[in-house]
Structure 1
């Protein structure tokens, strides 16, 4: 007997991608329901070879839902996740709201999937699971096998994040500014603080008192929660004029010796990773190649001779997939693999 899945925020970029991935991976759903705000009721969204019409979140009954995947922002997550969870559904939330709650697991299945064993066994569990920030998800997939092999002491990360990470408005702004520049229209920043077309902006999310932005803080805090609280992490997050696909330049310092060849071999065997690392022109991954793919791509693996036991990597992934939609579906798949039954079967 299949499962009943509700997608909250189904008309947005990530919500649509969740529906695509559920269909691609043949998730065992008897019914998939697309939910949205009142202004989007009736909008049509593709789900495999079907077309769903968005229904009103405000009046939907979650009492027979197995999974609710939320891709509608922190305000909706704050209000609705506890209500949906209280109705008995398992909530997998894409926003940042629940990530830092002590009783809410923050999950990347390839990295810390076993956390869900304890969560499932806890009769007092909250029924809410958090999905990490898009940049964190691809980062920890690459770091996990290396950390297991040689123990990461410190990570220095610079992100190059596509405009789709800012939603449809970000994509539209890059498109409109690019077209406008070619006809001599002056770019007018709206979604971003400065012109994004043919430019890079070292500012994502709000600034904090210590000078880091909230986006940079998320990478620090989430890497520690998912992977190991002892790892020292620093990050600079940059918005770049790319439509889809986040890239990261990562510098690592380990407790134990590890060579580039050893790291390359370890990463080739790790789940969710493709290694493209030829030391020649074009022998590396870029955002263009990762769009629509499930894997996180790792390239430019080399030893950093400026520190003891150091490595440098280039990490690329589709932020709408592994950074958001794919990871939520993988969390649900992991729960099924651990024996979670449909509420209809129970």
Structure 2
């Protein structure tokens, strides 16, 4: 009887433990067959721009690594806040990916009193897909031939020269402001919704210059419609060797990059996050991927996970100073 009693107690305890064991092992099992259906990536900017190009290129390779197609969904609006919010609210099952970027994570916190998500707590950063320089350009018909010409004209005519970017509060907007505070010039920011809108204004002479990520402008530079007068990379970009760096032009501190990354909503099971991380690492070191990134006018980057968080924290303080120095106000 005693043996039966002990066996009964053990059986009852095991039955009580089984549900807990099932729950505890669920995340691990969830990753075993992940993914077993197509995924989607939410890009918070319009089709055709640098954000879109980088996302589609990366998803092509990530889909191969994971064995499932990845559909890119462009959800522009509210300076990237709409698409980023949709990522934050998505089910944390690993089937909705998001695109993080410098503007949203490094700049927006200092421009808006409140955001529809918590940048620290609502996302898990996976990998930087690529980084790129910011190019300053003018119409090929412009009398401005160099950065020196631009600065000289801006000092002669304070507040008269202007620069176009794809939106207020974007990293490109801040890049134009960074030149203003560094060179001691006063020029006017003219925001547009994207390249398709501001390019005609620059070519037509309504706006003096443009400030945008290099991949968006590469074809215009190669086609001779836009004259590049400076780029923010440490060295000249091989595909546009005639565009000098800021360092060469007398501004050694103006070396900075924009970037786009892969992220997921917070709460995705750790084994799935690890699978995405490992797949991303393979992609970033894939020679074919690196060639395609270079063809887009960008550079591959091996910054991942906690290093991404550190990158965001460091750069965020740089842009905060630019915002404060230039008294840039978006959300009063």
Q: Which has the greater radius of gyration?
A: 2
Q: Greater share of strand residues, 1 or 2?
A: 1
Query: Which one has more relative contact order, counting CA pairs under 8 Å at least 6 apart?
Result: 2
Normalised TM-score (structure 2): 0.28
- Normalized per residue, the structure richer in helix is 2
